Structure 1
Amino acid sequence: MAAESEEGVEVVGRTVDEAVQKGLDMLHLRRDQVSIEIVSDGARTLLGFRPGQVRVRMAPKSGLAKPHRAEERRGTRNRVGSEVSPTVAAAGQEAPPEVAARRAEPGAVGTGPTPEANAKPATEAVGDELDVARRLLADLLERMGLRASVEVHPGTGEEPARLNITGRNLAMLIGRRGETLAALQFLTRLMVSHKVGHWVSVAVDVDNYRLKREETLRRLAVRMGEQAIETGRVQELEPMPPAERRIIHLALRDFAGVSSQSIGEGESRRVTIIPARSSRS
């Protein structure tokens, strides 16, 4: 569900990342090009079990024009990467937004880094944030009674820094379709952002689960793309969370002869791979 106006959009989702990604798709902008206000973060229990509905309000930053309606309607079937996300998240992702996560009061967020953060060199500030993130996540795992270590992998380019949890018997931190891991990542981002005073986009992984899953999805995308070309028929993949759909779209972005798009709603949303010459009537 989303409400749109000339100034921006108001979107709902199961998580903040999912809602933000829906808004970015509607606005055709990147996260660093929009201002984001969390209207409601929903009723949420520990690690995201029985999550509530998240509502965010998004608008282009000053000086950025919203794409013309004609551009939004142009060639949906030829547009690839419409699911660039979070989460979930995911799995990675676009350039981190300079959006404050500390709320002055329920339903509101700040709009930028604190003066103390600005006073530090960029590399030092990033290093401090990652150290804070590592310590907070390690403390959370200890309180959960888990014996695990947290590895820090600095971000590269548009990829955020990654905290990889290593240890034994950690499958419970991943959950069905990575839902528990996505909730753990969201919780970690909230804790770190509250601690440092501004929004910090950091990915959380467990025994490199996300990296292995990404490679599996890329191979699946190529295989199904080849099958779409050979048969001339649209290929539909299983339902996936936003971050995994994004991996499929990116893998097919430069794949000649096919395009991809997402269909369906909620947990049933999935990727379709469309050959240039489809036999679908």
Structure 2
Amino acid sequence: MKRITMRGQTVEEAVEKALARLHVSKEAVDIVVVQQEKKPFLGLFGGQEAIVEVTVRDPFHFVESFLKHVIEQMNVHVQLACQVEGERLVVFLSGPDVARVIGKHGQTLNALQSLAQGVLNRYTDRPLRVVIDAEGYRKRREETLVRLAKNMAKKAIQMGKDISLEPMSAWERKVIHTALSDDDRIQTFSAGTEPHRHVVISLKR
């Protein structure tokens, strides 16, 4: 959860400043008054500012609201369901237009997940994650990537040279690295810069 401490001439002013900084409504936060304001004695000395501690209550709420807004703007018929699993929010998308949300090789889905993660990071200081799936696409894509990794590793060994795969998202590259991590004949590493970063399968020498 995101927590900030703010000062103000009054408690109300300190709270308003904190809400403006966080870009949230008062209903979305918990407020603790650390120090009440105190007017200076005879208007000259002894005064003190108010101090409040404001904490965002449910950062996942903002992610869900963001995604609903984006889907509405995309003008697609897609339903959204959210499930909290420990330190991550899993978002399931379904509906007749879900293929449009997935995009080619999951590019649209990955971009949506990246944006959602950015929103979440704005409202929490904890290492929380957002995972967006669309009618089981992530699982199917993972299985495809594992098969690709195994086939390309076999090819690299047979040909005796490095093989560079197509550019992939960070999640897809991780799947490739993990799939080949137990093969003591080859090693994998990422090369290039986004959006052209890709996995290289290399023989161990």
TM-score, with structure 2 as normaliser: 0.60
* Aligned partners of 1:132 and 1:192 also within 8 Å: yes
* CA offsets 1:218-268 (integer angstroms, 9 cap, x no match): 121122222323343322222223332222112111122111122334444
Q: Percent identity?
A: 31
Equivalent residue letter for 2:192: G
* Aligned partners of 2:77 and 2:98 also within 8 Å: no
Where 2:144 maps in the other structure, the secondary structure is helix
* Residues in 2 aligned to 1:214 and 1:268: alpha-carbon distance in whole angstroms: 20
Where 1:140 maps in the other structure, the secondary structure is helix
Match of 2:112 in 1: 184
Q: CA RMSD in A?
A: 3.4
* Aligned partners of 2:77 and 2:97 also within 8 Å: no
* Residues in 2 aligned to 1:175 and 1:269: alpha-carbon distance in whole angstroms: 19
Pick the aligned partner of 1:208 from 122, 132, 136.
136
Pick the aligned partner of 1:226 from 154, 157, 178.
154
Q: Judging changes above 3 Å, is the alpha-carbon distance between structure 1 residues 232 and 212 closer, same or farther for their aligned structure 2 residues? A: same
* Residues in 2 aligned to 1:229 and 1:212: alpha-carbon distance in whole angstroms: 26
Task: Indicate whether 1:134 and 2:44 are aligned.
Answer: no
Match of 2:172 in 1: 244
* Residues in 2 aligned to 1:156 and 1:230: alpha-carbon distance in whole angstroms: 43
Instruction: Flag the structure with larger Rg.
Output: 2
* Residues in 1 aligned to 2:67 and 2:150: alpha-carbon distance in whole angstroms: 35
Match of 1:39 in 2: none
* Aligned partners of 1:154 and 1:161 also within 8 Å: yes
TM-score, with structure 1 as normaliser: 0.46
* Aligned partners of 1:162 and 1:202 also within 8 Å: yes
* CA offsets 1:151-172 (integer angstroms, 9 cap, x no match): 3344468xx4321211112222
* Residues in 2 aligned to 1:252 and 1:197: alpha-carbon distance in whole angstroms: 34
Equivalent residue letter for 1:162: V
* Residues in 2 aligned to 1:103 and 1:251: alpha-carbon distance in whole angstroms: 46
* Residues in 2 aligned to 1:236 and 1:266: alpha-carbon distance in whole angstroms: 15
Q: Judging changes above 3 Å, is the alpha-carbon distance between structure 1 residues 275 and 173 closer, same or farther for their aligned structure 2 residues? A: same
Aligned residues: 157
* CA offsets 1:124-174 (integer angstroms, 9 cap, x no match): x7xx444553344234323443332223344468xx432121111222223
* CA offsets 1:39-64 (integer angstroms, 9 cap, x no match): xxxxxxxxxxxxxxxxxxxxxxxxxx
Match of 2:192 in 1: 264
Q: Judging changes above 3 Å, is the alpha-carbon distance between structure 1 residues 177 and 103 closer, same or farther for their aligned structure 2 residues? A: farther
Q: What is the deviation of 1:204?
A: 1.9
Pick the aligned partner of 1:163 from 91, 95, 98.
91
Q: Judging changes above 3 Å, is the alpha-carbon distance between structure 1 residues 268 and 197 closer, same or farther for their aligned structure 2 residues? A: closer
* Aligned partners of 2:59 and 2:124 also within 8 Å: no
Q: Judging changes above 3 Å, is the alpha-carbon distance between structure 1 residues 270 and 188 closer, same or farther for their aligned structure 2 residues? A: closer
Q: Highest relative contact order (Cα 8 Å, sep 6+), 1 or 2?
A: 1
